[in-house]
Amino acid sequence: MRELPGWVRWLLVGRFVNALGSMAWVFVPLYLVSDRGLDEATAGSVAAVWGVGTILGNLAGGSVGDRWGLRPTLAFASLASALGCAVVPITPTGALAVVLFVMGALGGIGRPVSFALVTSALPSEDRRRASAWMRSVNNAGTVLGPPLGGLLAVHHFGAVFVIDALASLLMLGVVLLVVPATARATAPEGTPTRVLTALRADPRFVLLLLTVVVADTAYRFAYSAVPWQLEALGAAPWVYGTTISLNCALIVLFEPWLAHRLRARSPEPLIVAGFALVGLGWLVVAPSPAVATVLAALVVVTAGEMLYKPTATAHAADRAPDGMHGRYQSLYGAASIGGTVVAPPLAGALFSASPRLMWVVGGLLALAAAATLGLTGAGNDGAVRRVVTTRRAAP
């Protein structure tokens, strides 16, 4: 981390505290039932709008950041998110869906903008490490935050939202006081202003996005297939909680180190290897599902995640035309969470038919993504980038 600029290190501290305090989304369904008196079905529907807002905010955030400036956009999102969290406890129940949607959208904006803010200001060789550190501090905060939120919720649920608001305000302070105003993407004359124009000139990046969606669908089996399989095997709920903690702990401990060690390697082979490990991890479970094999599979899948996620995040920044870092991070961010929509119903249908079939399909999805990206080759990669650069510089 010492090699990163000082403002990036402070931003990482802000991201950690923000992730540590951003515990409200974990407890919204429980809050709606216990404090607002909604039944579980209604609470689930109301809480779902948070997720919808997050996806839409993620898609829109990069475009807003490229136009307004990445730093002011992140500052605005942090301030508005703090205000949103603060008003939740006093919002009438009938209006909560609207407030939660706005809060989800603001949180979604922050992700691509913060990644674009860092990656666009750093040289290419530092982007993977910075992306890995960003993910690591987020995971560290996510590991520690929910237990603290649970302790607060015992006394008063409103405290969870107040802490979340304070964490957003701290992030706002870091952005305003530490991040330099020059740390933003610029758009020189001749740069394409429409993202579709840039994507048509870079079909390789479009292929990357499509394969990331497929691989992420397989990866997200960790959040649906794994708990169902563990429950079917008679494992207590804490076993699943331990698997998620294991995933986060491995990322915190090893992802920045791995990104540093592999910083000189070509990105696409690393992404392909990451996809393949995700696929192989689930195939480990298929022959004989057991608690031990599920835990072993999660370790393999986490290794794949550590390879492809920070590498692909940095690769999106490398491919972004000047002035489009935010939009490219939005596109990658949307692809990298695309599996949250597809994986649960797919895994559910497959699990009902055959648990072993579920693991085989999950594994083959990730291997198909690896094969598609790997076998099409990166030989034309440099040529594509030259085309993008040429068109960008054209008068």
Is pLDDT above 70 for 147? no
| 218-239 pLDDT tens trace | 998 887 788 888 888 988 777 8
Please provide the average confidence, as pLDDT, over all residues in the chain: 81
pTM for the full model? Answer: 0.75
- Give the span between the Cα atoms of 66 and 331, in whole angstroms: 13
Structure tokens at 27: 């407890």
pLDDT at residue 391 in the model: 40
The pLDDT > 70 percentage for the chain reads 85
Tell me the mean pLDDT in the region 66-73.
85
| 8-35 pLDDT tens trace | 888 888 888 877 766 666 667 667 777 7
Whether the CB-CB separation of 138 and 310 falls below 8 Å is answered with no
Who contacts 243 (Cβ-Cβ below 8 Å, separation ≥6)? 222, 226, 230, 294, 295, 298
| 72-93 pLDDT tens trace | 988 998 898 888 888 888 889 8
pLDDT at residue 385 in the model: 45
CA-closest candidate to residue 358, choices 298, 276, 278, 283:
283
pLDDT at residue 393 in the model: 40
pLDDT at residue 382 in the model: 46
| Architecture of the CATH domain 195-393 | Up-down Bundle (1.20)
**Range from 23-27, 118-122, 293-297, 312-316 carrying the lowest mean pLDDT:** 23-27
- Give the span between the Cα atoms of 12 and 133, in whole angstroms: 7
CA-closest candidate to residue 170, choices 379, 330, 11:
11
pLDDT at residue 8 in the model: 85
* Sign of the dihedral defined by the CA atoms of residues 135, 141, 146, 152, in that order: negative
Helix, strand, coil % over all residues of the chain, rounded to 5: 85, 0, 15
**Range from 114-128, 216-230, 309-323 carrying the lowest mean pLDDT:** 114-128
pLDDT at residue 384 in the model: 42
In the chain, list all ranges with CATH 1.20.1250.20.
Answer: 6-177, 195-393
* Sign of the dihedral defined by the CA atoms of residues 147, 24, 157, 30, in that order: negative
What's the pLDDT band for 333 if we cut at 50, 70, 90?
A: confident
Tell me the mean pLDDT in the region 86-114.
85
The pLDDT > 90 percentage for the chain reads 20
pLDDT at residue 207 in the model: 95
Q: 6-177 sits in which CATH class?
A: mainly alpha
**Range from 60-64, 138-142, 229-233, 252-256 carrying the lowest mean pLDDT:** 138-142
Is pLDDT above 80 for 51? no
